Amino acid sequence: MLGKVNPIMAEFLIQTGFQMIGNHAASSVDLDHSELDLNIWEGCMVFNILTSMELLEYSVTALTQKCLLGLKPIEAANQKHVNSIIPRLTSLAH
């Protein structure tokens, strides 16, 4: 297909977000089951937090390198959109 854009990097970032939500949920449950000053689940919480941090660092770096670097606007297309009826309709809708 001509002009098809592969959304794999955006999907990868969404999957990373889902994994981070899962890690947060597991850490929250660990915290709920701690007993006063003794928390035997600290290792699990630390693992989930560090894993989430590594995933976020890797996914944002990959998105930046593979999608955002070298991204340039298409001036003609932008001017066409500015001069179209869509901005006028948007201002009327508000």
| 43, part of any domain | yes
| 89, part of any domain | yes
Write out pLDDT tens, residues 76-94.
888 888 888 877 777 777 6
| 1, part of any domain | no
| 3, part of any domain | no
| 68, part of any domain | yes
The mean pLDDT value of the chain amounts to 85
Domain that holds residue 85: 8-93
Count of the separate structural domains present in the chain: 1
3-state secondary structure the chain: CCCCCCCHHHHHHHHHHHHHHHHHHHHHHHHHCCECCECCCHHHHHHHHHHHHHHHHHHHHHHHHHHHCCCCCCHHHHHHHHCCCHHHHHHHHC
- pTM of the entire predicted model: 0.68
| 73, part of any domain | yes
| 77, part of any domain | yes
Write out pLDDT tens, residues 11-28.
999 999 999 999 999 988
